Amino acid sequence: MNLEQIIEAILFAAGKPLSERKLADLTGKKTDEVSVALDGLQERLSERGVILQRYEKDVELVTHPEVAEYVSKVVKDEEQGELTRAALEALTILAYRGPMTRPELEQIRGVQSSMILRNLMIRGLVEQKEDMRLGQATYAVTFDFLNHLGLKSIKDLPEYEELRGHTAISDMLEQLKEPEESKESDGNEEISV
């Protein structure tokens, strides 16, 4: 795979804008190499249904403006249709254990969850928070989610305290944190003689 293809896959999976610097970090390449690859990708996608949108040093894959009317039908269906089993599962996990990062959600679910998070955000049931954990943004249910269920507080969910503190899930999330914590401690350890 060449750098253009790798960047295209990263942007598709991210589902949000990424900086050229972030792409350089993810690919292990220099920012000028990433910039050249982005130029090529932008040219290659210019006549496709998905194009590369650039704003200053941020880039994102977006749908071509000429197909907006078709895409809006799909988005409308997603907003009004029933939630899938996978979406309900992710929403339940976020309600009982959130806010949490996408990798934490994926650790519990065992599958990739970026598209489900995107669909839940489109519906206004989940929001991306500004606080970061493990180098990732966190996601949580919204006030609209509470309103749809007729709840005053997230703590009014059935068996909230019992399910929020479930040990198997806590252990799983701790395992995810351990590699990150060991990275932070590398190089910062004091040597005693």
pLDDT tens per residue across span 42-95:
999 988 999 999 988 899 998 888 888 888 777 666 556 678 888 889 998 998
Separation CA 136–CA 170 (nearest Å) = 18
What is the helix (H) or strand (E) element at residue 61, kind and residue range? strand 58-63
Separation CA 17–CA 181 (nearest Å) = 27
- 129 φ, ψ (degrees, to nearest 5): -90, 160
Report the predicted TM-score, pTM, of the whole model to 2 decimal places: 0.53
pLDDT tens per residue across span 130-179:
777 767 889 999 988 888 888 888 888 888 887 777 676 566 656 655 55
Residue 80: per-residue pLDDT: 62
Residue 42: per-residue pLDDT: 94
Range 82-161: architecture per CATH: Orthogonal Bundle (1.10)
**Angle formed at CA 24 by CA 49 and CA 4, multiple of 5 degrees:** 35
Q: Does domain 3-66 have CATH number 3.40.50.1370?
A: no
Which stretch, 28-37, 147-156, 182-191, has highest mean pLDDT? 28-37
Half-sphere exposure of 55 (CA within 13 A, CB side): 6
Same fold for the pair 3-66 and 82-161: yes
- The domain segmentation of the chain, as residue ranges, is 3-66, 82-161
Which has more pLDDT, 24 or 150?
A: 24
